[in-house]
Structure 1
């Protein structure tokens, strides 16, 4: 069996099984082995320059420990560094990478981390001079100014099936947060008296 190629190198990785083994095991495998059937064949011939000026690309520095899928031996040579994991959402993201990318737990945890991150930013905005405004930022004013309601009726739009959920999804968390703040305030007032 051929030695597997190192990931992220310039050479083409070798097959783990021979073409005959794959053709016997997978119906239809190798239908494009004939060069006449592959439009990319001229670029695959030996001696054609790829333009790569490296054998293994220079590695990007890691300003903090990066999350890495358990399916990969190492991080890719280049990766995004715009949003370092922080707070509860960062902890959830790091925990998600304990699971394989083939498991639903991995992706559900990443989705949950995105929602937690959004709430962290909403809460952080309350400490600024201009906190988030759910009325203007959700496009609610545009519904009344730009014919939003009339465009939903008689037009056979697909999104009208779930539009009744939009106020619950958008305003629901804000209403719950307001009720929670009112309950805390009421408890503090009762404690003083």
Structure 2
């Protein structure tokens, strides 16, 4: 038994396990295993016409796990790393292996930073985000939002009080920051 001074029992032999557990070891004999033909190495079975697949060109240095020798032959290019969030992602891949919690926590934090960067970027564009139409708030009033939230056994009912805070907080903070900047600029001119 674990955590006691007693000597642990030795592992049971195959015969003892087979006698105690019905069907134990049924797949030990290769002829009884359905996957054995797939496990045999037969280069002609795959019908591949290459030794190693053609590699996709790397237009910029991609983030990659430090456990892998090289980048996979095909990879996504839809969202290149940029800004502070991109630097955080690159650091997560460069400094920590995928088995470490710090790697994944940094990637999660980079996602949150990316949303803030995107919101701030929308403020300086010619078409800023519209939180009223783009978050579905109007649907709450036109498609029975409140009654659907209160009726039934919805799993997300616990976080309903937090939804307005999560959606509105970035906008309120950005507005407060803008007011502070304008006030300081106006105060500096006096």
User: TM-score if structure 2 supplies the norm length?
Assistant: 0.78
RMSD across aligned C-alpha pairs, in angstroms? 2.3
Rg comparison, structure with higher value? 2
Q: How does 1:79-98 map to 2 (within 5 A)?
A: 79-97=75-93, 98=95
Q: Provide the C-alpha distance between the structure 2 equivalents of 1:62 and 1:31, rounded to a whole number of angstroms.
A: 48
Q: CA deviation at 1:45?
A: 4.4
Cα 1:46–1:65, aligned 2, differ >3 Å: closer, same or farther?
closer
Cα 1:187–1:75, aligned 2, differ >3 Å: closer, same or farther?
same
Q: CA deviation at 1:128?
A: 2.5
Aligned to 2:114: 117
Aligned to 1:40: 35
Aligned to 1:21: none
Deviations 1:57-114 (A, max 9, x none): 1222111111111111111111112222111111111111111111111111111111
Cα 1:49–1:176, aligned 2, differ >3 Å: closer, same or farther?
same
Aligned to 2:145: 148
1:64 aligns with 2:60: yes
Aligned to 1:101: 98
Q: Provide the C-alpha distance between the structure 2 equivalents of 1:141 and 1:51, rounded to a whole number of angstroms.
A: 55
Q: What is the DSSP-based 3-state SS (H/G/I as helix, E as strand, rest coil) of the residue aligned with 1:111?
A: helix
Q: Provide the C-alpha distance between the structure 2 equivalents of 1:70 and 1:45, rounded to a whole number of angstroms.
A: 31
Unaligned stretches of 5+ residues in structure 2: 1-13, 15-24
Q: Provide the C-alpha distance between the structure 2 equivalents of 1:31 and 1:75, rounded to a whole number of angstroms.
A: 40
Comparing both structures, which one devotes a greater share of its residues to helix?
2
Q: Higher RCO, 1 or 2 (CA under 8 Å, sep at least 6)?
A: 1
User: TM-score if structure 1 supplies the norm length?
Assistant: 0.77
Q: CA deviation at 1:177?
A: 1.1
Q: How many residues align?
A: 166
1:174 aligns with 2:171: yes
After the TM superposition, list the runs of 4 or more consecutive aligned residues in structure 1 that deviate by more than 6 angstroms. Answer: none
Q: Provide the C-alpha distance between the structure 1 equivalents of 2:26 and 2:106, rounded to a whole number of angstroms.
A: 39
Cα 1:36–1:151, aligned 2, differ >3 Å: closer, same or farther?
farther
1:186 aligns with 2:183: yes
Q: What is the DSSP-based 3-state SS (H/G/I as helix, E as strand, rest coil) of the residue aligned with 2:68?
A: coil
